[in-house]
Amino acid sequence: MSFPSPPFPHSINYLLKFVYRANLAFSYGWGVFVSHRSGETTDDFIADLTVGLRTGHLKTGAPARGERVVKYNRLMDIEDEIKASGEEVKYAGAEFRTAHGKVENPKIPLNLYGY
């Protein structure tokens, strides 16, 4: 599923739409693959969003440039924070499509538009 780029990608409206669409995808038993935009900045919020939604996968590219390295560093910081709280940290790996949790009786769409 691909969505057009919003005029203000950091607006709360865009974030709410993203969370809604991620939950909708989960309800169909689909996985969500979070990816950074080209021309990305050193803002590392996308790492928090990926972990917060339990998508299990963040595509940010090879850690060759600063704006990518900060995202990987943030993921490691989040891992340390979770471990410090006593919770278990598990790499989703091949199970990234269900990292958010098992969906009982997922909706099966007739087409990509959900009807």
Q: Please give the average per-residue pLDDT across 61-75, as a whole number.
A: 88
Confidence of residue 79 (pLDDT cuts 50, 70, 90): very high
Q: Which H/E stretch holds residue 35?
A: strand 34-35
Residue 99 · residue 55 · CB < 8 Å: yes
pLDDT value of position 81: 92
Q: Please give the average per-residue pLDDT across 61-87, as a whole number.
A: 90
Residue with tokens 């006593």: 86
pLDDT at residue 106 greater than cutoff 60: no
Of 37 and 59, more confident: 59
